[in-house]
Structure 1
Amino acid sequence: MAKHYKKKYILAEDVVITSLSHTGRGIGRIDNKVVFVEDTVPNDIADIQIVKNKKDFAEARLTNLKKASDLRIEPTCNHFGICGGCRLMNLPYEFQLKHKESLVIEDFKRISHLTDYKIHPVIGAEKVLGYRNKLEFTFSRHPWFVSKNDEADSHDDRRVLGFHVRGRFDKVVDIQQCHLQEEPANLIRNTFGKLARQYDFEFYDQKKNTGFIRTLIIRMTKTSEIMVIVVFTADQPEMIRPFLTEAIRQLPPIHSLYYFINPKVNDSIYDLEPNLFHGNTYITERAGHIRLQVGPKSFLQTNSHQAEILYSQIEKICGLTGEETVYDLYCGVGSIGLYLAHRCKKIIGIEAIPESIEEAQANMQLNGIDNANFLAGQSEKVLTPDLIATYGKPDVIILDPPRAGLHKDLIATLCQIKPEKLLYVSCNPSTQARDAALLSESFQLIEIQPIDMFPHTLHVENIALFKSK
């Protein structure tokens, strides 16, 4: 039942939440209109307040949880509901997997409109906590206080180190314990935060682009190696060197310690020069039978354990015989291509970031692989008839693009080349389904395989196999 007190304040009582949206909001109905309700889960019965009322749907906030769903569980993390991660931690993992599988199925049905393909059950993760090999934290002067008492207890020291609050780029919640990365990650973060306060550093102000220390990145590998990256806004060695030296003294062995100087408004470090302060130039990760060098700018799957599952599934679905020429587009540091190199005749990797190509070549040498070539450039521009004349027509093309999906020019080229197989890996099934429809002119979708790379989040990876018509 809805009560209209003012035009913009509509209250509704006893709304039954029936399902979960792509964005993690509960879905209910009022007078047959879909309502997306924050902080609710399926089977909740809730009183809500409409905050946005459109013709076809409404958005609402929870005002009173009348009856909690039997699906709800106690989240492991004390920061649940405040920081921007782990939206699904209050739901059983089995439910999370079913939800992610349903999202992939719905995207392909609603967007691609394709039929007659096989849908494999989602592959879950054995390790649902401590699975991330990389986390990034923000030093901020704009803390998020849960209550007025917390704000009063801050004693005017508003410096925090943690994650951005959900939906608030300008607010950061101070993280004391994060369960997404194994120890000593929490010790490292808390030590750097404590030392930054002791050294009286000015924490970053994202609104004004001021302050001295702005970002902490922790990378860890399955080989138990640790890389720490600290980002400052100004190159002041008299402040940076004593601070980093003291951090090394207080912490367990850090195998590699870098710092960057970033005076820009955006947080990206990929256009900046890394400064090695201590230890090795890279740390080493294992992915099944291959090793990978991890530098401060390296892009890798952030769940190393599930990455092995992903690569093994790619190998299985490709069905390589050892005679194929395989093109690996958006290859990054070469991880997928190098993983498959022992099962094919030739690997040709293409990647837009030159530094990643350098790392791919280094990884090729590290693993003693001699049947791979890596080329720098945008896939839609590099994949030309001249390239194919040089390296041979691909039997298989592997695609692992960013979330935005494939460039339209690349789709046109793929439809012209028509390799026997396309294997498309995506972290965004919506754009993957869109591209699947565009590729259907020349390819038939054979099967899809969802894989959960990020337990407790809304993200899901998906493999799609296409064969030439």
Structure 2
Amino acid sequence: MAEKLNKNQIVEIDITGMSHQGFGVGKVDDFVVFTEGALPGERIKARLVSIKKDYAYGIISEYIEKSPDRRDPFCPVYDLCGGCSLQHMSYESQLKNKTVRVDDCLKRIGGFTDIPVLPCIGMQEPYEYRNKVQLAVGSTGLGEGNKQRGLSAGFYARRTHQVVYAQQCRIQPGIADQIKDTVLIYMKSNKISAYDETKNKGLVRHIMVRKSVNTDDVMVVIVATENNRVFMKGLTDILLASFQDIKTVVLNLNTKATNVIMGNECVYYYGDGSIQEKLGDLTFRITPLSFFQVNTLQMKVLYDKVKEYAGLTGEEIVWDLYCGAGTIGLYLADQAKKVIGIESVPQAVENAKENTIQNNIRNTEFITGKAEDEINQLIQSTNNIHPDLIIVDPPRKGCHERLLSSLCELRTQKLIYVSCNPSTLARDLKYLNEHGKYEIKKVQPVDMFPWTEHVETVVLLKRLEK
């Protein structure tokens, strides 16, 4: 079929679904076409911009019939910015679509045809939800109306490293926009250069703002290629005079020619480099390099669901694999006999240990290493004392197959899988079902990132036989 279609050809498409990227999915004579911005239920004319062997990409050239779920985006730079992908869709429909997406992956990839997926849990007010914002700084940028502008900070345009400036971004706290503009004005008035990644020159690379939801603490981090003390001292004075909730101002040094945002070295210009955030009865110390979910409110929703599925009585041994900064394990610790976390990133493990001490928790242990390597050593070191519950919260690529194999051999009666990628979730659940006789009991999607295609899912599994 691909040979019958031509680039720039206009085709009519009925949109029947959405991809994991948030693209509308339809067919032209059984040939799949992904169209950015199209919604299920719409009939459109699309111009084909890329044709592959088995599918094509198109862009909307005309609406023949619009979906009743279509909405006008609330952001004036939505068509440019890569920060959001679903502002053209009503929030209620986003939640339904995320539920459908999880269900579709379980059926199509996992082969589970009779597993009910609970409705995705959304936010009552899905705005200003990000507690951390990382804004690229550029000597030029795009603004409202696709207008060129000078010194700018913001998210990148889709599929580019062109900075998009928004006067107000409604997925981040308002103070982040104010701080961003304060930094830009100070840079401009003092002739401070933005970093140019094509030339590996310039000073300021990114502005990072972290704001605690429950304490209102604010952290400002300037990511730069060198420690310009005159610039940082002057900027710190301006920031502290302008924003009373700032608890710390930090310079993060990143001298490498890389697209990785943060470097490893921090210099504290005000405060001790940390802010405090509360989650339930716990208080977490957050530093510039800390690992912490970016949506605090939905983080609690997610963790409460994990706690509900865990059903702990105080006598259980819990293993928390891919534990990050240990937040799930620490959240469950008061209802468990012992929590053991495994994480491959040393900085995250240090965060976990610091927060254990801060919260006076005495029944946790955190191990640095890859879960697939450490799990068998853990069994030996605990004299074959097996866990009563295992929680896995892997990255987007899912669990390593060696870990899945070890889980099946271990035969723990209850597993909880926390996923940020429905496709790898379905793949791993299929393995656990086929090789470990684990049965899916509950599937609960949670919307951690409104206005984007991303969805988190909590799954409860139990072994079919002892």
Query: What TM-score results when the alignment is normalised by the length of structure 1?
Result: 0.92
Say which of 167, 172, 179 aligns to 2:163: 172
The one of 422, 426, 430 equivalent to 1:429 is 422
Q: Give the residue type in structure 2 aligned to 1:395.
A: D
Q: Deviations over 1:383-430 (max 9, x none)?
A: 124555437321111111111111122122212222111111011111
Deviations 1:323-362, CA, capped at 9 Å, x for gaps: 1100111112211111111111111111112222222122
How far apart in 1 are the matches of 2:276 and 2:57? 46
User: Could you tell me which amino acid in structure 2 is paired with residue 114 of structure 1?
Assistant: F
In the TM superposition, what whole-angstrom CA distance separates every residue of 1:28-81 from its partner, at most 9, and x where no partner exists?
Answer: 332332221122223434332111223432211122334443221122211212
Which letter does structure 2 place at the counterpart of 1:209? Answer: N
1:264-309: CA deviation from partner (whole Å, max 9, x where unpaired): 1224366511111101332111111221111111111111001111
What's 1:52 paired with? 50
2:204 alignment partner, one of 181, 192, 213? 213
Residues 270, 397 of structure 1: alpha-carbon distance in 2 compared, 3 angstrom cutoff: farther
CA distance in 1, matches of 2:262, 2:139: 24
Give the partner amino acid of 1:179: R
SS in structure 2 at match of 1:362: helix
- Structure 2: distance between partners of 1:400 and 1:382: 15
Alpha-carbon separation, structure 2, partners of 1:70 and 1:206? 43
Report the CA distance shift for 1:312/1:200 in structure 2 as closer, same or farther (over 3 A).
same
**Displacement after TM superposition at 1:179 (Å):** 0.4
Give the match for residue 172 of structure 2: 181
Matching residue within 191, 194, 197 for 2:188: 197
Q: In 1, Cα distance between the equivalents of 2:117 and 2:145?
A: 46
2: CA distance between counterparts of 1:386 and 1:335? Answer: 20
Amino acid at match of 2:10: L
* Bigger Cα displacement from structure 2, 89-98 vs 234-243: 234-243
**Counterpart-to-counterpart distance in 1, 2:166 and 2:244:** 20
Alignment CA distance shift 1:47-1:17 (3 Å):
same
8 Å CA contact 2:83–2:156 kept in 1: the answer is no
Counterpart residue number, 1:159: 151
Output the CA distance in 2 between the equivalents of 1:371 and 1:253. 34
SS at match of 1:255: strand
* Structure 1 counterpart of 2:329: 337
Match of 1:255 among 233, 247, 262: 247
Secondary structure at 2:399 match in 1: coil
Q: Deviations over 1:205-262 (max 9, x none)?
A: 1222221100011111121111111100123323333233333333333111111111
Runs of 5+ unmatched residues, structure 1: none
- In structure 2, do the counterparts of structure 1 residues 386 and 24 end up closer, same or farther at CA, with 3 Å as the change threshold? closer
Equivalent runs, 1:6-25 vs 2, <5 Å: 7-12=6-11, 14-25=12-23
Q: Which amino acid aligns with 1:183?
A: G
Q: CA 1:386–1:99 in 2, change beyond 3 Å: closer, same or farther?
A: closer
Given the superposition, is the C-alpha separation of residues 120 and 47 from structure 1 closer, same or farther in structure 2, using an over 3 Å criterion?
A: closer
8 Å contact kept, 2:82–2:155: yes
Q: Where in structure 2 are the equivalents of 1:30-429 lying within 5 Å?
A: 30-144=28-142, 150-151=147-148, 154=149, 158-168=150-160, 170-222=161-213, 223-268=215-260, 272-385=264-377, 387-390=379-382, 392-429=385-422
Q: CA deviation at 1:185?
A: 1.7
Aligned pair count reads 458
Counterpart code for 1:89: Q
Task: Report if aligned partners of 2:290, 2:348 keep a CA contact under 8 Å in 1.
Answer: yes
Moved more, 243-252 or 104-113: 243-252
CA contact (8 A) 1:42 1:69 kept: yes
* 1:195/1:247 contact within 8 Å kept: no
Q: Is the 8 A contact 2:99 2:117 kept in 1?
A: no
Contact 2:36–2:59 (CA<8 Å) still a contact in 1?
yes
**Distance across 2 between alignment mates of 1:344 and 1:162:** 43
The code of the aligned residue for 1:461 comes to E
5+ residue gaps in structure 2? Answer: none
Code of the aligned partner of 2:165: D
Alignment partners' CA distance in 2, 1:178 and 1:458? 18
Structure 2 CA distance for partners of 1:277 and 1:58, relative to 1, 3 Å: same
SS of residue matched to 1:127: coil
**Which amino acid counterpart does residue 422 of structure 2 have in structure 1?**
P
Provide the rounded CA distance (Å) in 2 between the counterparts of 1:61 and 1:437.
Answer: 35
Q: Does the C-alpha gap of structure 1 residues 32 and 405 become closer, same or farther in structure 2, counting only changes over 3 Å?
A: closer
8 Å CA contact 1:229–1:257 kept in 2: the answer is yes
Give the whole-Å Cα distance in 2 for the aligned partners of 1:159 and 1:125. 34
Provide the rounded CA distance (Å) in 1 between the counterparts of 2:230 and 2:409. 59
In the alignment, the residues of structure 2 paired with residue 82 and residue 464 of structure 1 have an alpha-carbon distance, to the nearest angstrom, of 35
Is the contact made by 2:37 and 2:88 (CA closer than 8 Å) also made in structure 1? no
Identity %, equivalent residues? 36
Distance 1:423 1:78 in 2: 41
**Aligned-partner residue type, residue 414 of structure 2:** K
How far, CA to CA, are the matches of 1:7 and 1:97 in structure 2? Answer: 35
Determine whether 1:459 maps to 2:454: yes
SS of the equivalent of 1:383 reads helix
Q: Is the 8 A contact 1:199 1:243 kept in 2?
A: no
Query: Within 1, Cα distance between the matches of 2:336 and 2:40?
Result: 47
Equivalent residues of 2:45, 2:61 under 8 A apart: yes
**Helix, strand or coil at the partner of 2:163:** strand
Deviation at 1:459, TM superposition (A): 0.4
In 1, Cα distance between the equivalents of 2:97 and 2:108?
16
Q: Partners of 2:47 and 2:220 in 1: how far apart? A: 44
SS in 1 for 2:142: coil
2:444 matched to 1:449?
yes
Post-superposition shift, 1:86? 2.0
> CA distance change for structure 1 residues 27 and 461 in 2, over 3 Å: closer, same or farther?
same
User: Could you tell me whether the CA contact under 8 Å between 2:212 and 2:276 is conserved in 1?
Assistant: yes
Residue aligned with 1:112, SS? coil
SS at match of 2:265: coil
Counterpart of 1:202 in 2: which secondary structure? coil
